[in-house]
Amino acid sequence: MHKLHCRPGDLAVAVDAVNAENVGAMVEVLRLADATTHPLAGEPGALWWVRAVGRPMAYRFPNGAVLHLAEGPVPDRCLRPIRGRDDDAPAAVPAARTLHPQPEYAR
């Protein structure tokens, strides 16, 4: 199994979604969801139970109904956490440094 993007307690942003209106939604990651008993059970990978921060998330059900819910499941592959850098994550180079490198004499 691949390393999960999120962990319980994370604040995360939805970067992909079946319902386009959910892209960009902020959520709090609560716990792993039971992937065997939910309509999203066919999704590959881990499934998180999340709480929407701000606007509710839109869920489309097999019968065509769309419900806006404060809590529900979201696949791990659709979320990116907003937190400090992990110890094993590569350090990012600030854009200003790559666009306007300092001259040798200024280092």
Residues of the chain with pLDDT under 50: 93-98
Strand, coil or helix: what is 32? strand
Instruction: Report pLDDT for 76.
Output: 93
Q: Which of 16, 85, 25, 17 is nearest to 52 (CA)?
A: 25
CA distance 29 to 32: 8
**pLDDT tens digits for 28-54?**
999 998 776 555 555 667 899 999 999
pTM summary value = 0.70
Class of the CATH domain delimited by 1-82: mainly beta
- pLDDT for residue 101: 54
Domain range summary for the chain, segments of one domain joined by +: 1-82
